[in-house]
Amino acid sequence: MEAYRAIEVFSALSQSTRLDTFRLLMDHEPEGLPAGEIARRLEVPQNTMSSHLGILTRAGLIQPERHSRSIVYRAVVERVREIASFLVQDCCGGRPELCEPLVAEFTPCCSPKESSHV
Sequential pLDDT tens for the chain (118 residues): 889 999 999 999 999 999 999 999 999 999 999 999 999 999 999 999 999 999 999 999 999 999 888 899 999 999 998 998 888 777 777 777 777 777 777 666 665 555 444 3
- The answer to whether residues 17 and 60 belong to one domain is yes
- The answer to whether residues 17 and 41 belong to one domain is yes
Which residues, in sequence order, are bridge partners of residue 72? Answer: 34, 65
C-alpha–C-alpha distance, residues 95 and 113, integer Å:
32
- The answer to whether residues 29 and 55 belong to one domain is yes
How many domains are there within the chain? Answer: 2
- The answer to whether residues 59 and 100 belong to one domain is no
Look up the domain containing 26 and give its range. Answer: 3-78
- The answer to whether residues 41 and 92 belong to one domain is no
- The answer to whether residues 37 and 55 belong to one domain is yes
Q: Residue 56 domain-assigned?
A: yes
- pTM for the structure as a whole: 0.81
Q: Residue 117 domain-assigned?
A: no
